[in-house]
Structure 1
């Protein structure tokens, strides 16, 4: 038996398939989900979600949200998500360099917070490709 996994953003369904194992970037650390997992509702952080299906691992970048696990169904509602296979490595590296400069150049507290969030997103995108 496997898990039925759905990753949903406000504008699209990023993943709707089965998986044997999932590793979620929860707000308290990495969280592994296997079949017959106890019911769970958890907050997700910016990070890389990994799914194992048919012996192959797939990476999906998740930009905060929630995950619900119940009856071998995993529903992930998040602000944005992107499959690692759709991310260009060179573009992700360039984006990380650009955002790193924004963090260094930020002068106000608000600008620093916004730049730091963008930096975390860029790092997650790069991690999903690598």
Structure 2
């Protein structure tokens, strides 16, 4: 029997995923983090992007969009406390495109640095949602 690790992905609103995975990939601040069972303990922040979970006995990955949060890794347990988490199958690609356009427009029409920083964060999140939705569409 292959090694597995328990993964929990939760947001303030709900638990998005709880189950066993053969390995998982998270969007870390410095790049993607590939986590296998028995990984050394780790605590880090994640950026907006797709969480990819390799499920036992399935070829395709389970995809979850996260807008950021904290990742805790223990040898047999991975916990992601996400600011926002949405299953890839529940993402609306058209809405993500509109959000990206609104964020780009806000960047062009900035009046203060705070507005620019907010628009930049919204742009990063909408692009990550769009990429996650497109990855999900390709794997189905």
**How far apart, CA to CA, are the structure 2 residues paired with 1:114 and 1:29?**
22
Looking at structure 1, the residues matched to 107 and 17 of structure 2 have their Cα atoms a distance apart, in angstroms, of 32
Match of 1:101 in 2: 105
Mind listing any 5+ residue stretches in structure 1 that lack a counterpart? none
Structure 2 residue runs of 5 or longer lacking an equivalent are 135-140
SS of aligned partner of 2:96: helix
Q: Say how many residue pairs are matched.
A: 130
Over 2 Å off, 4+ runs? none
Shift of 1:100: 1.3
- CA distance in 2: counterparts of 1:110 and 1:90, whole angstroms: 27
TM-score by length of 2: 0.87
1:45 paired residue number = 47
Distance in 2 (CA, whole Å) between partners of 1:46 and 1:8 is 15
Q: CA deviation digits over 1:67-106, x for unaligned, max 9?
A: 1111321001121111111012222212211221111111
| Structure with the larger strand share | 1
Task: Give, in angstroms, the shift of residue 55 of structure 1.
Answer: 2.3
**Once the two structures are superposed, what CA deviation does each residue of 1:95-129 show, in whole Å capped at 9, x if it has no partner?**
21122111111111000000000000100100101
- Find the counterpart in structure 1 of residue 7 from structure 2: 5
Q: TM-score, normalised by structure 1?
A: 0.93
In the TM superposition, what is the alpha-carbon distance from 1:12 to its structure 2 partner?
0.9
Match of 1:88 among 80, 89, 92: 92
Match of 2:17 among 15, 18, 38: 15
Q: 2:61 aligns with which of 57, 60, 66?
A: 57
SS at match of 2:13: coil
Q: Does 1:72 align with 2:76?
A: yes
